[in-house]
Amino acid sequence: MKAMHLIIAMLVMMSLASCSADGNDPVENSVSTYLLEKTYGARSFTYKENNSDKLKLSELPAISLSEADHILSVLRKHTDAQEELDIRTATKGEQTWLRIVMKQTIDHKYAFTIQLNMNCYSDGSLYYGGYQAECSSSLIKWYLKGFSLATDNATKNYKFESQSYIYMKVIDNGIKYMQIPVTIKGNYNPRNHDAAFSYNL
């Protein structure tokens, strides 16, 4: 009888140990990764894909999935967003060199800066001359694929758009790189040199 009790006790202890081990099962972390994918359109990728070397993603610190979710949530909500606009022009003959710098700071620590370079002519035409973009946070990398530029027939303003990506390095049963799409849209009014942009995460 004592032997039977001992066997039952051992089975109960083994069952508890199994449950405890299951608590650290990779499935729990993969669900969190799945939530990032469903909530923000994130996708995981290998380091050698896309612009990894150019962006030096290996320099990113590894963060937890919960920290990654917090950062993306703050960016999506635009917490305490502050916008700055700096437009500079220089005219030479019939050509005006135009530099538009737009900066948006989220939650007092995530600053996204876009600089658009354009050339204007006396006939009203506008030509796109490239861009620069940077993000102040050391926890993420930001990559833009370039801008499309078109005329808004209703307002005669120029509108621009870009597909960009935020990259993170997260801890999920080892190191995993995540790519999150961010769509940028903006406009420029050549009559008063006013410009604005927004992004959708």
DSSP letters for 28-93: HHHHHHHHHHHHH--EEE-TTSTTHHHHTGGGSPPB-HHHHHHHHHHHHHTTT-EEEEEEEEEEET
Model confidence, pTM: 0.77
State pLDDT tens for residues 80-110.
889 999 989 888 888 889 899 999 999 999 9
How far apart CA 113 and CA 129 sit, in angstroms, is 17
Backbone angles phi, psi at 123, to 5 degrees: -80, 5
State pLDDT tens for residues 111-137.
999 999 988 887 777 888 889 999 999
Dihedral (C-alpha) 81, 102, 133, 164: value to the nearest 10 degrees? 60
Structure tokens at 63: 């963060």
State pLDDT tens for residues 134-178.
999 999 999 998 888 888 889 888 899 999 999 999 998 888 999
